[in-house]
A and B are shown apart, each in its own frame.
Chain A
């Protein structure tokens, strides 16, 4: 009944001058409820201790174990082998800097992108630690939280045709992040401020609408809807300025 799974895994250590990018194959007996996260740990423990991959939480919260699973970016920890064919090919996420084998450095990319889009609440209000937290309508809080669920795993960026072609494209992650601040009444940025950040060909107008981000997002964040709303919003801000003649 139980299958023998064949794993084809990308291997390369950029630190080692003698290392050549290649594929290694491993075999493993499938057990009930086996996830790729468990499978990789077993491979490392039982077959090859040099196998390099990232993980931390094993429950789709930390976003560390993003990798390309049979061509599709996804999280190893929430992918059951029973949903996959007997031959499983694992590759590191493209776009990001390769650390080794399946491990990539998403942190540097996300840090730089967050800085580029100024991914924090802009306010001139002074913080009063004694004051009660400002109230917000429940519906609004929920819609902000819906977008806030992003775990920065990098799957949307790795699956993006534009990001793969053009290094300066900020990707669905950043556009979703801006959409979240646009919604937030505590962020005092004006429409023109947001336009300056994402109203460019590196921002929302660079998006070609291939929607792979929407299809691979492990958190099922409504990226298609958010990108559409943002494109229209930024488009109209641009037009409004055309008639008012000011930036």
Chain B
């Protein structure tokens, strides 16, 4: 017997929105933790080439790079699909949010626009970065330095670095206020903390890029 999908006509109560919102937050939180750890681990080159190579060796010996890398890539794609439910893709929505942000002069609204724009750039540049690194294992300080010194990748990472840190920093703040971890009284100091954290991460990234650019291969 043919059954008719009654949900077409009468929408039953659904929990899907709740699950998707949880997943969006959890994948986001996971990626934030990953991105900050990633920055610290790569910055180990500033302590010495041997330190970074030892850490890279550890992640490969334990297969964390070979398995974890693609998993992070998949998580990023999943996070994109989930967050895309909120991102304006139609021109009328884009026009509405743009006019609205220009009218309102409101930092948190602009931060959201930045988050949406950086998301699109990270989706492409992050994928390119992951493909390049994961198809050329093992990771060594010498190979990274050679790439940076080629010129093209230097510009590539100078763009990708602030995109990631802005997106991750704003996302960290947004999760905290959206899910009620940070209350009204704590919002201002927390935002300040988040701004400083983002600036520090960008600074560490810039120092690391300079280190790679000047490293003798």
| Mutual binders A and B | yes
Nearest-neighbour CB distance to chain A for B4, whole angstroms, equals 20
Contacts of B180 in A (CB 8 A): 225, 227-229, 231-232
Distance of A228 Cα from B187 Cα, bound (Å): 12
Nearest-neighbour CB distance to chain B for A225, whole angstroms, equals 5
Contacts of A209 in B (CB 8 A): 108, 112, 174, 177-178
Q: CB distance A238 to B100 under 8 Å?
A: no
Q: CB distance B15 to A199 under 8 Å?
A: yes
Q: CB distance B187 to A164 under 8 Å?
A: no
A-B contact count (CB 8 A): 112
Q: Which residue of A lies closest to B94 (CB)?
A: A165
Q: CB distance A205 to B112 under 8 Å?
A: no
Q: What per-residue 1/0 map shows which CB atoms of B99-119 lie under 8 Å from chain A?
A: 011011110110010000000
Size of the chain B interface, CB-CB below 8 angstroms: 34
8 Å CB contact of A165 from B17, B20, B85, B96: B96
Nearest-neighbour CB distance to chain B for A145, whole angstroms, equals 18
Contacts of A94 in B (CB 8 A): 100, 103
Distance of A43 Cα from B164 Cα, bound (Å): 51
Distance of A17 Cα from B183 Cα, bound (Å): 49
Nearest-neighbour CB distance to chain B for A154, whole angstroms, equals 15
Q: CB distance B105 to A164 under 8 Å?
A: no
Q: CB distance B104 to A159 under 8 Å?
A: yes
Query: Which of A50-58, A125-133, A134-142, A211-219 makes up part of the contact surface?
Result: A211-219
Distance of A224 Cα from B181 Cα, bound (Å): 11
Contacts of A159 in B (CB 8 A): 104, 106
Q: CB distance B184 to A68 under 8 Å?
A: no
Q: What per-residue 1/0 map shows which CB atoms of B1-34 lie under 8 Å from chain A?
A: 0000000000011110111111000000000000
Q: CB distance A247 to B106 under 8 Å?
A: no
Distance of A238 Cα from B15 Cα, bound (Å): 6
A residues 195-247 with Cβ under 8 Å of B?
195-196, 199-201, 203, 205-212, 214-215, 222, 224-225, 227-229, 231-232, 234-235, 237-239, 241-242, 247
Identify the 6 closest CB pairs spanning chains A and B, nearest first. A228-B180, A238-B18, A209-B178, A205-B17, A205-B21, A164-B100
